[in-house]
A and B are shown apart, each in its own frame.
Chain A
Amino acid sequence: MTHIRIEGLGHAFGAVAALDGLNLTVRHGEFVVLLGPSGCGKTTLLRMIAGLLEPNAGRVLVDGHRPEPGRDTAMVFQNYRLIPWKTARQNVEFARPGADVGRYLEMVGLSRFADAFPAALSGGMRQRVALARALAAEAPILLMDEPFASLDAQTRELMQGELRRLIAARPATVVFVTHGVDEALALADRIVLMSPRPGRIAEEVRPGPGMREYLWQRLREMVLNDPGSDFYGREG
């Protein structure tokens, strides 16, 4: 059953087209990964699904209506976006006042650090607080914008495992943005490959044998053929 429906979505920032004619559907409980090089509009698309950005064209529907932030969707950002003057407990509670904060901090293994300010936590711990905050919202859709991008490889792998465990315990529809092929293959039910400038859906694939090499090749082609990319013209 369709949970998120995106129809003819288009958006431009001034003269720069970010998305153009994008269509996508996501089913209830599906884990969809948006994969693509920098500048392909992944974050813009996620902000529109979250209801944080109004599209210039097309629409996003969640269960047939416009998404309502906090009620339909909860978001995890790349740079944590924890409120620095609030403790871990207060940050989680901010998502839903009156929530059983202890339970969510326990889910991410941070019960002992409930009263710590973000400045005292490591990158991985901060991201776990951000994850607990998103879970505390109890929204049916979890939107994750490169949440593990700023973590070291080891912590990233741990966090991916943690996320899989949490989603298994508390099912949700997940739209996860990354530009990492391995991360996409580790997490996704379905991978939506996006091409840059303007952002469009190039292809949809499912994780499987041989897919790693294939996706690397496709991303490489996109980067090399993108006039806006720093890599343009390096070959040849």
Chain B
Amino acid sequence: MIWGMRFGLLAGLILLWEWWAPGGLLPTPGQVWRAGVALLAEGRLWRAVGDSLSIYVSGMAAALVGIPLGLAMGSFRLFGRVVDVFVFALAATPRVAFIPLIIVILGLGFEAKTFIVFLGAVMPVVLNTYAGVLAADADLIEMARSTGAGRRRIWRHVVLPGAMPFLATGLRLGATIGLINTVVAELYTAVRGLGGLLAIYGNTFRMAEYFVIVLMLAIIGVIVTEAMRAVEAHLSRWRGER
């Protein structure tokens, strides 16, 4: 039902675009479609998608380190209070500001790009996991104590599962920022992948091809967000129908 309505809205937007687009610099949907078919036939688009996804997946995998870090910050209060101000400071600083430094240290290749993705994705993962542990239900902890449960058992059965919905939200936000940072990394370092094609077609005003890349990024974004939503829903299934 909801997907039917979404496709209906998409069809409506494409029709509106077709009717409104003047041609020339702003391509029509038909021109974008033909450009997309040509890019796929050349294999150029798939190579770019492969390059971008390898950077994105590597950066996201590295960002998972934010889960144990956030759990440790929330579980060991002294450690959390010492460290959190630095994490907040890092999270508030635009990641673009670090790119020259990253290029100086890691160069222009795969490592630098992966690190830029990691830097964007890890912050929401750490901060949400940390918040999830801090938001542990004091009433449930007292109930667990009333059964004679010790710290470790309380952490395993009450604190950790209670933090899971926060953690899933952090992963979803991290996944979105990671995708944005993949393109940023490809624009600022060695020009490759979808970000690289975006730069090439944008600078040469090949707008039909440019729109193909933009739409491909949007499709990847939707797939990633829906997958993370499914993970979130699975971790919160005990909440029942809402």
Contact = CB atoms under 8 A, between A and B. Distances in A.
B155 to A, nearest CB: 13
Contacts of B149: 70, 94
Given A50-B146, A70-B146, A81 B240 contact: no
A53 B140 CA distance: 15
B148 A71 contact: yes
Interface string B204-242: 000000000000000000000000000000000011100
Interface of A: 50, 52, 68-71, 73-75, 77, 79, 81, 83-86, 94-96, 117-120, 133, 137
A24 B173 CA distance: 56
B95 interface: no
| Residue in A69, A71, A117, A118 whose Cβ sees the most chain B Cβ within 10 Å | A69
Nearest to A95: B147
B158 interface: yes
A137 B147 contact: yes
Given A83-B158, A117-B240, A69 B148 contact: yes
Nearest to B161: A85
A73 B240 CA distance: 32
Given A84-B239, A85-B161, A94-B157, A52 B142 contact: yes
Interface string B137-157: 001101111111100000001
A53 to B, nearest CB: 9
Interface of B: 139-140, 142-149, 157-158, 161-162, 164, 238-240
A75 to B, nearest CB: 4
Contacts, number: 55
Given A119-B238, A119-B239, A69 B161 contact: no
| Interchain residue pairs A-B with the least CB separation, the first 10 | A70-B148, A119-B240, A81-B143, A85-B238, A75-B146, A117-B238, A70-B147, A95-B147, A85-B161, A69-B148
A81 to B, nearest CB: 4
Contacts of A120: 240
Question: Helix, strand, loop or mixed for chain B's interface?
Answer: helix
B143 A77 contact: yes
Given A81-B139, A83-B157, A74 B239 contact: no
A24 to B, nearest CB: 20
Nearest to B236: A85
A118 B157 CA distance: 16
Given A81-B139, A83-B140, A83-B158, A74 B238 contact: no
Nearest to B144: A94
Contacts of A77: 139, 143
Contacts of A119: 238-240
A50 B148 CA distance: 10
A81 B162 CA distance: 13
A52 B145 CA distance: 7
A131 to B, nearest CB: 13
Contacts of A50: 146
A60 to B, nearest CB: 14
A137 B148 CA distance: 9
